[in-house]
Each structure stands twice: as structure tokens, then as C-alpha cells.
Amino acid sequence: MIKPIIVSGIQPTGNLHLGNYLGAVKNWVDLQNSGKYQMYIFIADLHSLTGNMPANRRRRQIIETATELLAAGIDPKKTTLFVQSHVQEHTELGWIFNCVTPIAELERMTQYKDKSQQQEKNINAGLFTYPVLQAADILLYHGNLVPVGQDQIQHVELTRDIARWFNNRFDNYFPETKHLLTDVPKVMSLLEPEKKMSKSLGAGHVIELADEPETIEQKLKKAVTATSGGGNAPGVRNLMLLLQKFSAPKIYQKFAKAEKDGSIRYGDLKQAVGEAVSVYFADFRIRRAKLLSNPNKLEKILTAGANKARVVAQKTINDVRKRVGTQ
Ligand code: ADP
Ligand code: TRP
């Protein structure tokens, strides 16, 4: 039986946080372990060039992001894990896709509009064509399903359009791609719970998977709960969600009941969330430290992953070259 193909990526722009985990990475691990799919997961280092990060930090962060994916449960025996720039075919297909994509469609992309505001002094062409490279990442492996958080849906929809534009102009070749959401498409910031938890907001807004228990506790102490709105306040909803995902069901039920009858104490809720998250990621922290102390092992995994991905990517590029007439 042919297994559906799953492709997803993450930029090496910071350590993994609970939003990345619940919105994407946990889903990747579950899908991988179901044994029902062929999986490609990669570090989108070329995409990260659209931002302002210095080269040394990028070099380091590629290693850390790959390490954290492994520590979170990505298994290189089951998933092809690689670094995007190690497979050059991504950029060639990206260019070809640039030539079938109307500018007007890219102008609609909300991530482009948001990022242009965030980095006013660096609105580069890469930032604009970012979703075209993302389509190449996916279609190079004939991806059927793309597990991502809510903010990436528009890019996956554009991927479907790009496949159609290519298929209409050249020859039917690329499949239809769909996004795959988790049951938690959006975790909110601790300090501004009306915004999504994102590393670009700053350290106090996010809980990183690698955070030590004391750090988690300190960050939660400052978390915004209910100034008004009671249990429906977004900060409280968010903490309850984290408790539901990371604590034993009994503990969650106790707080859910207390919330209903009005006896809930937010200090206790924060403490329970802190304990649950610290315990849940205890093994992760150990695996992460172990992997970071063995860089050769990581390098071998990433080289093997790129070699495997390249075989598929080269076949696609050869087919595409024939269709567009560069070969
Ligand atoms: P960040 O916003 O922190 O820079 P990324 O853009 O690198 O995060 O996101 C990587 C993956 O994690 C994407 O699939 C994205 O949809 C998901 N993701 C990021 N933040 C959240 C969040 N707060 N809630 C749910 N999913 C998220
Ligand atoms: N744009 C994605 C993000 O910011 C990262 C990414 C790049 C990606 N290429 C991809 C995700 C291909 C899924 C598939 O999170």
C-alpha cells in the first residue's frame, strides 16, 4: 500500500516553545509513530534568511532546532529529517514556481504583511516570495498533507494553487496538498494572551521546551490571568488548555470544577501548570543535553536525512525540467 506523504518544516529561529509543540511538533511525532505515512521534516534555514539573524546564530540554531526535534520524539529511522539548504533542488523548484505565481496572489499573504511591519527596514524580495519556496519544499516530495499551526494554512492553500497553475501550464504532475491541523492550532502568549505565543514577542511570552522548572515557574508567575472576564479571560483559557494537555486528567478535572464553581485560585493554577509542564518535558531536557554533547551523531543523522531526501528531490526536478523544457 502506498502511504500518503507528509511534509513539514520549521525555521531555525529560536528554541521550540509550547506553541510550536502543541501546534505542530507533537502532531509530527504522533503522525510519525502511527506508521501510516511517509514523513519528511526539515529545518527551513533558507526561509530564515528572510529575517535579520546573524550568520553565527543561524549556524548554531540549525543544530539546536534539529536537536530539539529529535529530543521531542522525531525518529530518523521513521522520518526523513534534514536541513533544507542541504538539498539544492528546493531552490531550483522555488524559482520555477516563481515563474507561474502571480504577484497579486503573494500580495494577499498575511504573514508577508505582518513580517513587513515587524522588520520595516528589511522588506526583502525573499520575504515576498517566501510562500513560493514553501510550495517547492512541499511539492518536491509530492506532499499530500502538511501538518502546521493555524498561521500557515494560507501558505498551504497557495501551494495547492501553485500546483494547479503548474499543472495547467505544463502537464499534470503535482498532487493536491492539504493542511493538517492539531486540536490545538493556537497557544497564546503568557503576557499578552490575545496574541499567539511566538518567540518574536520575547522570552517572557513563551515557555520553551528546554526551560528549567525554575524558569517555567518564574514565567508563569508573571502570566496574565483574569483582570476581567473571569474564567473566560483568554489568559485563564490558555493556562487551562496547558493544564489539560500536560497534567494528569485528575488534576485538570479538579481545576475545571473549581473554575465552574468560582473557587479557583489562579496562583494554584499557575503552580499546577508549571509542575505539569516541567515533568512532561523532563526527559526532553535530558535527551537534548545528551544530543548536544555529541555533535558527530547529529551531523550523521542530518547527512543521512539529506541523502535520502535528495534521491526523491532529484527525480522530481528531472521530471520538472523535462516538462518546462530546460532539459
Ligand atoms: P514563531 O511564531 O514562534 O516564530 P514559527 O513561525 O517558527 O513560530 O512556527 C513553527 C510552527 O509552529 C508552525 O507550524 C506554526 O504554525 C506553529 N506555531 C507557532 N506558534 C504557535 C502557537 N502559538 N500556537 C500553535 N502553533 C504555533
Ligand atoms: N513557513 C513555515 C513556518 O514559518 C516553515 C516552513 C517552510 C514550512 N517550508 C515549509 C512548513 C513547508 C511546512 C511545509 O512555520
Q: Which helix (H) or strand (E) holds 311?
A: helix 295-324
255 and 308 both lie in a single domain: no
Q: Which ligand is nearest to the CA of 136?
A: 2
182 and 208 both lie in a single domain: no
Closest residue by Cα to residue 303 from 88, 140, 82, 45? 82
Quote the mean pLDDT of the chain.
96
10 and 108 both lie in a single domain: yes
208 and 118 both lie in a single domain: no
Our answer on whether the CB atom of 190 is closer than 6 Å to any ligand 1 atom is no
Look at residue 191 and tell me if it is in a domain: no
Predicted pLDDT of residue 1: 82
Give the CATH number, domain containing residue 218.
Answer: 1.10.240.10
Our answer on whether the CB atom of 152 is closer than 6 Å to any ligand 1 atom is yes
173 and 227 both lie in a single domain: no
Look at residue 62 and tell me if it is in a domain: yes
Predicted pLDDT of residue 156: 98
Predicted pLDDT of residue 112: 97
Our answer on whether the CB atom of 159 is closer than 6 Å to any ligand 2 atom is no
Cα 306 to chain centroid, rounded: 19
- The per-residue pLDDT for range 102-131, each reduced to its tens digit, is 999 999 999 999 999 999 999 999 999 999
Our answer on whether the CB atom of 8 is closer than 6 Å to any ligand 2 atom is yes
109 and 237 both lie in a single domain: no
Atom nearest to 11 CA in ligand 1? 7
Our answer on whether the CB atom of 177 is closer than 6 Å to any ligand 2 atom is no
Tell me how far the alpha carbon of residue 141 lies from the centroid of ligand 2, in angstroms: 14
Look at residue 58 and tell me if it is in a domain: yes
- The per-residue pLDDT for range 87-99, each reduced to its tens digit, is 999 999 999 999 9
pLDDT at 231 over 70: no
309 and 180 both lie in a single domain: yes
Atom 20 of ligand 1, residue of closest alpha carbon:
19
Predicted pLDDT of residue 230: 59
- The per-residue pLDDT for range 7-27, each reduced to its tens digit, is 999 999 999 999 999 999 999
Look at residue 317 and tell me if it is in a domain: yes
173 and 249 both lie in a single domain: no
Atom nearest to 10 CA in ligand 2? 5
The model's confidence at residue 228, banded by pLDDT at 50, 70 and 90, is: low
Atom nearest to 155 CA in ligand 2? 1
What is the total count of domains within the chain?
A: 2
Q: How far apart are CA 183 and CA 181, in angstroms?
A: 7
Our answer on whether the CB atom of 197 is closer than 6 Å to any ligand 1 atom is yes
Predicted pLDDT of residue 282: 98
User: Is 68 within 8 Å of 16 (Cβ atoms)?
Assistant: yes
Predicted pLDDT of residue 229: 56
Predicted pLDDT of residue 183: 81
Residue with the larger pLDDT of the pair 229 and 39: 39
Look at residue 178 and tell me if it is in a domain: yes
300 and 258 both lie in a single domain: no
204 and 247 both lie in a single domain: yes
Tell me how far the alpha carbon of residue 19 lies from the centroid of ligand 2, in angstroms: 15
| Average pLDDT for 261-290 | 96
Atom nearest to 24 CA in ligand 2? 15
Q: Going by DSSP bridges, is the β-strand pair 5-10/178-180 parallel, antiparallel, or unpaired?
A: unpaired
Residue range(s) defining the domain that contains residue 56:
5-186+295-324
154 and 280 both lie in a single domain: no
189 CB neighbour count, 10 Å cutoff: 23
Look at residue 115 and tell me if it is in a domain: yes
Predicted pLDDT of residue 285: 98
Beta strands in the chain (DSSP E): 5-10, 38-43, 79-83, 145-147, 178-180
Please give the share of the chain, as a percent, with pLDDT higher than 90: 92
The residues carrying an active-site annotation are 115, 196, 199
Look at residue 289 and tell me if it is in a domain: no
Atom 21 of ligand 1, residue of closest alpha carbon:
19
Look at residue 194 and tell me if it is in a domain: no
**∠ CA 233-235-236, rounded to 5°:** 70
Our answer on whether the CB atom of 160 is closer than 6 Å to any ligand 1 atom is no
- The per-residue pLDDT for range 127-176, each reduced to its tens digit, is 999 999 999 999 999 999 999 988 899 999 999 999 999 999 998 999 99
- The per-residue pLDDT for range 209-224, each reduced to its tens digit, is 999 999 999 999 999 9
Atom nearest to 130 CA in ligand 2? 1
Atom 8 of ligand 2, residue of closest alpha carbon:
9
181 and 309 both lie in a single domain: yes
Q: How far apart are CA 25 and CA 10, in angstroms?
A: 9
Tell me how far the alpha carbon of residue 48 lies from the centroid of ligand 1, in angstroms: 14
User: Is 20 within 8 Å of 187 (Cβ atoms)?
Assistant: no
Tell me how far the alpha carbon of residue 263 lies from the centroid of ligand 2, in angstroms: 42
- The per-residue pLDDT for range 65-76, each reduced to its tens digit, is 999 999 999 999
The model's confidence at residue 226, banded by pLDDT at 50, 70 and 90, is: confident
Predicted pLDDT of residue 182: 85
Predicted pLDDT of residue 16: 97
Give the CATH number, domain containing residue 74.
Answer: 3.40.50.620
